[in-house]
Amino acid sequence: MSWDHITFLAGLVAAWSLLIIGTTRFVISRSQAQYDAKLKEMETALSEVRALRADLPLHYVRREDFIGNDLKVNAKLDKLWERLDTAGFISKEDFIRHETGVSTRLEAVAKQIDGIRERLK
């Protein structure tokens, strides 16, 4: 083997090595850019979650608190109904019957309106 062949082979190995190194650097830099973008997305999402957690006590009612408040309101309404019923104004059953009739009539009117809309299409 002559020096020309050895030099040619050494140049070929060097070129191949540079090609491999360049490709590897490209893939790593591209992966790093994607990783940085995902990391930024996650940091943004994390900051939004932290902001929501900070506001949570202002907007959230625990189930037990809601049930307690609902029971209090219902007890007060029941006392009011009892007073109205004993005073002879209107009984709770009559009011419920009246409201049920009104809602039934409203549902019938809504169905008629939907039918008219379908015919107009």
pLDDT tens-digit readout, 44-54: 999 999 988 88
Residues of the chain with pLDDT > 70, as a percent, come to: 93
- pTM, rounded to two decimals: 0.39
Residues of the chain with pLDDT > 90, as a percent, come to: 36
Q: Among 23-32, 56-65, 66-75, whose mean pLDDT is lowest?
A: 56-65
In angstroms, how far is the first alpha carbon of the chain from the final one? 91
Q: Is 91 left (phi over 0), alpha (psi -120 to 50) or beta?
A: beta
pLDDT tens-digit readout, 108-120: 888 888 888 888 8
Q: What are phi and psi of 62, to 5 degrees?
A: -65, 155
**Amino acid code (one letter) for 57:** P
DSSP 8-state secondary structure symbol assigned to residue 1: -
